[in-house]
Amino acid sequence: MMTLFQPGHFFYEVWIARGVLLSGLAITVASAASIIAIGLSVGILGGLCLTYAARPIRWVMRAYVDVVRGTPVLVLIFFVFYGTAIIGIDVSPFVAGVLAIGGFCVAHTAETVRGALESIPQAQSDAAKAIGLGFWGRLVHALGPQAVRRALPPWINTAVEMVKGTTLLSLIGVVDLLLAAQQAVSRSFMAMEFYGACLVVYVVICLGISQLGALVERRLAYIRY
C-alpha cells in the first residue's frame, strides 16, 4: 500500500501535483460552463434574429455566423487574445479564450435554433395564429417546445465539442486540465499516465453531457407527429 505513494509512482506524482491538477480541472469545467452559457443565451437570441428579424439585423447575424463557423477555433482564440491586447483592452487569457470559444458556440447554437424553428411545418404557425396568439405567444407556447425537441440532439453535439475545445485555452497560457497535466508530465515524465487520466476525465465530462441530453430527449419523446 505504501509503495503506491512513493516517489516515482503515478499516485505519488498526482498527489504532488494535486493543487495544479485540481485547479486545472476547475478551470476546464468553469470555462466549458461559461462557454455553454454564453452560447445558449446569446445563441438562442441569434437564432431568433436569423429566423424572424428584419433584413439588416438578419444579414448582420448571418454574416457573423458564416464567418465564425468558417474559422478554426484556434484562430478565433488568437484573434481575440492578441486583438484585445493590441487595441489596449486588458483581459486575462481565460476571459479572452472563453469569449472566443463562446462566440464560436453562439454561431453554432444560432444556426441550430434557426434550423429547428424553420423545420417546424408552417401549418403549426398558422394554427397558433388562428387561435389568436401573437408572435411571442406563438413562439413560447406553440413553436418553442417543438423547436427544443428538434434542436436538442445537434446542440448536445455542439456542447460536447465546446468542452473538448477548452483544451485550446492551454495554447494561450490558461492552465486548464490539459496544461496542468502537461506540467505534471514535465516533472514526472509519466506522459501515458497523465494524458491517459486526462482522457478519462474528458470522456466522463462529455459522456455526462450527452447522457443528460439523452435523458431530456427521452422526456421530450412525447412530442411526435
Least Cβ distance, residue 124 to other proteins (angstroms): 6
Q: In one letter, which amino acid is 216?
A: V
- Alpha helices (runs of H) in 53-190, residue ranges in sequence order: 55-69, 73-86, 93-119, 122-130, 135-137, 144-165, 177-188
Q: What angle do CA 206, 208, 211 make, to 5 degrees?
A: 110
* Residues 6+ positions from 195 with CB-CB distance below 8 Å: 181, 185
The stretch near other proteins (CB under 8 A) out of 8-16, 77-85, 135-143, 193-201 is: 135-143
Out of 91, 133, 171, 197, point to the residue binding other proteins (CB under 8 A): 133
Q: Applying CB under 8 A, which part among 74-82, 139-147, 160-168, 174-182 lies near other proteins?
A: 139-147
E strands, the chain, where? Answer: none
Query: Quick one: 55 or 224, whose CB is closer to other proteins?
Result: 224
Minimum distance from CB of 136 to other proteins (Å)?
10
Note whether 55 binds other proteins by CB under 8 A. Answer: no
The site for other proteins (CB under 8 A) is made up of 121, 123-124, 126-135, 137, 141-142, 145-146, 149, 222-225
